[in-house]
Amino acid sequence: MATEEHSVPETKDVYPLLPLRGLLVFPGMVLHFDVGRPKSVRALEQAVANDHLIVLASQEDGQVDDPSADDLYGIGTLARVKQMLKLPNGTIRVLVEGLKRAVLRAFVSEDDLFTVRVETYDEPEDVVVTPAIEAMRRSVTQQFEQYVRLSRKLDLDTYATVVDMSHPGQFADAVASHLPLKVREKQDILEAFDIEKRLERLLQILSDEREVLELERKIHQRVRKQMERTQKEYYLREQMKAIQRELGDKEGRQAEVDELREKLAAKRMPDDVRDRVEKEIARLERIPPASAEGTVVRNYIDWLLALPWLEAAKSTADIARAERILNEEHYGLDKVKERILEFIAVQALTDKQAGPIICLAGPPGVGKTSLARSIAKSLKRPFVRVSLGGVRDEAEIRGHRRTYIGSMPGRILQGMRQASVVNPVFLLDEIDKMASDFRGDPASAMLEVLDPEQNRAFSDHYIEIPYDLSNVLFITTANNVYQIPAPLRDRMEVIQLSGYTEIEKLHIAREHLLPKQRTAHALKGDRIRISDDVLLEVIRHYTREAGVRQLDRQLAAVCRKVARAVAAGDAKRVTVTSGVLQSYLGPHKYEFGEMETEDQVGVVAGLAWTEMGGDLLLVEVSIVPGSGKLVLTGQLGDVMKESAQTALSYVRSRTRALRLPPDFHEKVDIHIHVPEGAIPKDGPSAGITMATALVSALTHVRVRHDVAMTGEITLRGRVLPIGGLKEKSLAAHRAGIRTIVIPKGNVKDLDEVPDLVKSEVEFVPVSHMDEVLRLALVDNPLDHAGGSLADEPWWADVWSDSRFGGGEAHQ
Ligand code: ADP
């Protein structure tokens, strides 16, 4: 027991004792409480029967109902019972006044009631107020004041009375009794007999208490602020709605914003995208309805909501089904179909785009787009097509920043929006027709699209949030693979489609194009009849192409006319004869076979490869008196010009064998004309054609009109292989040519040439220019060593002197 024996006076007495629960009464304190326990009631009764004095001692544990002497603190308060009131429920309400501290020395009785012998302690009257005591008193006053202000639990009067107490000990007790302290803490103060110690302890408790209060206040403030803000926002929103209503904009922005929020809630998207949309909607909400900025923000939100972020098509790759679809929708193309099926098989094994990207290459109308469509159908994925033809600006791929008015995402994300799933089959059409200029390089943007390493996070300037393209199956098409920028081409696996023979076109027309056009024009049953001969007439005289696009269009025109006749009631059904055909489509547009009808001097049928397929290329050479100029006209690329030079050099190297004057090239001007150009890179393959035309013109020997040729030439007349043999032979066959001179090195390519063409055309492989001349010219000038040629060239007299070894002609 922390008693300070020295200051306890020698007054000893015995009093009844009342145990207190959760309560402590300080000397000088008046308060009331209820008493119910029988032992306590008895103690009270005894006190009242004597001198009204009673000892109040707190229980260490308030939970104990029937405390023993050991459950009580050893120091209590001697108090006077001032009033007692029996309540209806049997308990007694008492009013007591604490008098002085009392040290419990011994329990006299414990059973019926507690009586106890105590030593009471009077507070010394004249305390020496040391500076330490005064300092602490001030401190306590200050802290107590703050406590009163913060807690607002005490009224100011009480505060004033407490602070006015002059006795520092009583002051400390009063302060302690007004604080909401635990019994343990109050007991601490009660046990401090020494005033200095009592103040010190109180100070300690007060400052702890104040910290707690401070913290409480802060928490409270924060909570209130938060609530205020929510309320304020709610209030402002309501106000805004009211203003909008006033302005007659009832539906206005709010309705728009509500609708967008609904859409957002229903849309599946990654969290970062959702956050972004939420932010933009909040922004939109604040923008006045008529402002241009509102439109920009609204468009952006629409785009983010419209793009597929997580939606995917349930894709399957069933090879048997794919094969059936490809065969149903396309005639022929066996090798191409085979390659495509292999490709689909690989797709079946992996989810993502596996391996290189397919590039379907070939002339227009050979079915590239429709093959891609079939691939999509086989994989059960949506199909989107974006044309890259003429794209020069990187922004067309990647979009414009939103700062531009009317800016939009690039074509890739436009395609994705159209697809509305993340895994469509995406056709990038005419990737070879992309050009780059000062506005940036679209090819490098395409590289990012097609690169599986990079397309996981494709960046579009408009959308700004990285977009995942890695589930897309990209397919590209090109007319000319060599014009695809090299880094892009490296990523592609080229599947070449070449063009169709007449027979193939006939099949395609009969089995695919015509049925489609019939349905499109609602020509059921046998409303339209058209024989193979007439179909062939369409193919031969109304189209000139490697593919079947014009053919499709002409058939559509025929169906249109028939539909009109049927609808007008002119006929129930129409049999399209050759006459009817000409009345529908006009006179023949193309003469079948472009080959010359007669053998001519200086005109040779070459064969060219173009983006439109193979083509017949008539090379003309004319010789006029002059001074040795070589003139080239027509669509000649630089490469073609070099070929012309090489051909001329070969002819000069054969001057003697051809019995030309040694200086012939100085006396004549040579004019070479190539009417329709092959692509510049294809120039070399006209080498032997130009050489043949040159020799024919110089020697005035005619060229066989039914022979066509293709081959590169060296200075010494060797014939080198060329590309595109299949297309070239198709074109020659179409033109009615029956003999084609080809380089020996190309014999292996004959495998690819359709059997029909091989059966009707003779392919003659050559390795030297001399062989070409022997085959192509009606009379081989090389065989006439010493003799004379059939016809003298009209300009022969120009050099006749030198030709026959002297004399001066035309002085
Ligand atoms: P491309 O994309 O190569 O320019 P398209 O795919 O647009 O050509 O083809 C033009 C038309 O010709 C389409 O209607 C297509 O179905 C049809 N077509 C092309 N090749 C074939 C074929 N082998 N079998 C059936 N139809 C074909």
592-649: pLDDT as tens digits: 546 667 888 889 988 887 766 677 888 889 888 888 888 888 766 677 788 888 889 9
Q: Is the pLDDT of residue 352 over 70?
A: no
Q: Is the pLDDT of residue 214 over 90?
A: no
Is 364 labeled as ligand-binding? yes
Known active-site residue 728? yes
DSSP string, 728-767: HHHHHHHTT--EEEEEGGGGGGGGGS-HHHHHHSEEEEES
Ligand 1 neighbour 505 (Cβ under 6 A): no
The torsion of the CA quartet 216, 218, 220, 223, rounded to 10 degrees, works out to: -140
| Block residue for tokens 């179409």 | 734
The residue from 40, 177, 728, 729 that is catalytic is: 728
Is 369 labeled as ligand-binding? yes
Token code pair at residue 555: 């058939």
The letter for the amino acid at 415 is G
Q: Which residue has the higher pLDDT, 3 or 377?
A: 377
Ligand 1 neighbour 548 (Cβ under 6 A): yes
Q: What is the pLDDT of residue 369?
A: 94
From CA 333, how far away is CA 89, in angstroms rounded? 107
Band of pLDDT at residue 575, cut at 50, 70 and 90: confident
The closest-lying atom of ligand 1 relative to the alpha carbon of residue 332 is: 23
Token code pair at residue 64: 């104990």
Q: What is the pLDDT of residue 791?
A: 46
Distance from residue 186's CA to the centre of ligand 1 (Å): 100
From CA 324, how far away is CA 454, in angstroms rounded? 35
pTM over 0.75: no
Q: What is the pLDDT of residue 213?
A: 77
From 366, 371, 430, 476, the mutation candidate for ligand 1 (largest count of ligand atoms within 8 A of CB) is 366
The torsion of the CA quartet 757, 760, 762, 763, rounded to 10 degrees, works out to: 0
Q: Which of 77, 20, 16 is nearest to 47 (CA)?
A: 16
Could you give phi then psi for residue 654, rounded to 5 degrees? Answer: -105, 20
Could you give phi then psi for residue 34, rounded to 5 degrees? Answer: -100, 140
- Compute the Cα dihedral for 322, 327, 332, 334 and give only its sign: positive
Token code pair at residue 234: 């709610």
Q: Is the pLDDT of residue 18 over 90?
A: yes
Is 667 labeled as ligand-binding? no
The residue from 40, 58, 685, 696 that is catalytic is: 685
Ligand 1 neighbour 361 (Cβ under 6 A): no
Q: What is the pLDDT of residue 271?
A: 92
From CA 613, how far away is CA 386, in angstroms rounded? 23
Q: What is the pLDDT of residue 797?
A: 53
Q: What is the pLDDT of residue 790?
A: 41
Q: What is the pLDDT of residue 683?
A: 53
Could you give phi then psi for residue 624, rounded to 5 degrees? Answer: -130, 150
| Block residue for tokens 């913290």 | 215
Q: CB neighbours of 151 closer than 8 A, spacing ≥ 6?
A: 213
From CA 183, how far away is CA 204, in angstroms rounded? 16
Band of pLDDT at residue 73, cut at 50, 70 and 90: very high
Distance from residue 318's CA to the centre of ligand 1 (Å): 23
3-class DSSP assignment, residue 30: strand
Band of pLDDT at residue 171, cut at 50, 70 and 90: very high
Token code pair at residue 361: 């290459």
Token code pair at residue 479: 């007319």
Band of pLDDT at residue 795, cut at 50, 70 and 90: very low
- Closest C-alpha residue for ligand 1 atom 9: 367
From CA 243, how far away is CA 610, in angstroms rounded? 68
Ligand 1 neighbour 499 (Cβ under 6 A): no
Q: What is the pLDDT of residue 301?
A: 93
Mean per-residue pLDDT, 455-484: 90
Q: Which residue has the higher pLDDT, 727 or 106?
A: 106
Helices (H) and strands (E) in the chain, counts: 28, 24
Residues above pLDDT 90, as percent of the chain: 33
Mean per-residue pLDDT of the chain: 84
Q: Which residue has the higher pLDDT, 5 or 198?
A: 198
Q: Is the pLDDT of residue 657 over 50?
A: yes
Q: Is the pLDDT of residue 165 over 90?
A: no
Ligand 1 neighbour 517 (Cβ under 6 A): no
The C-alpha angle 756, 735, 765, rounded to 5 degrees, equals 65
Token code pair at residue 605: 């049928």
Instruction: Note whether 59 and 19 are within 8 A (CB).
Output: yes
From CA 492, how far away is CA 490, in angstroms rounded? 6
Band of pLDDT at residue 53, cut at 50, 70 and 90: very high
Partner residues linked to 777 by β-bridges:
703
From CA 632, how far away is CA 679, in angstroms rounded? 16
Q: Is the pLDDT of residue 684 over 50?
A: yes
Q: Is the pLDDT of residue 55 over 90?
A: yes
Instruction: Note whether 71 and 55 are within 8 A (CB).
Output: no
Q: Which of 676, 693, 687 is nearest to 721 (CA)?
A: 687
Q: Is the pLDDT of residue 581 over 70?
A: yes
Ligand 1 neighbour 337 (Cβ under 6 A): no
The closest-lying atom of ligand 1 relative to the alpha carbon of residue 329 is: 25
From CA 457, how far away is CA 753, in angstroms rounded? 44
Q: Is the pLDDT of residue 103 over 90?
A: yes
Is 368 labeled as ligand-binding? yes
8-state DSSP, 700: T
Band of pLDDT at residue 361, cut at 50, 70 and 90: very high
Q: Is the pLDDT of residue 291 over 90?
A: no
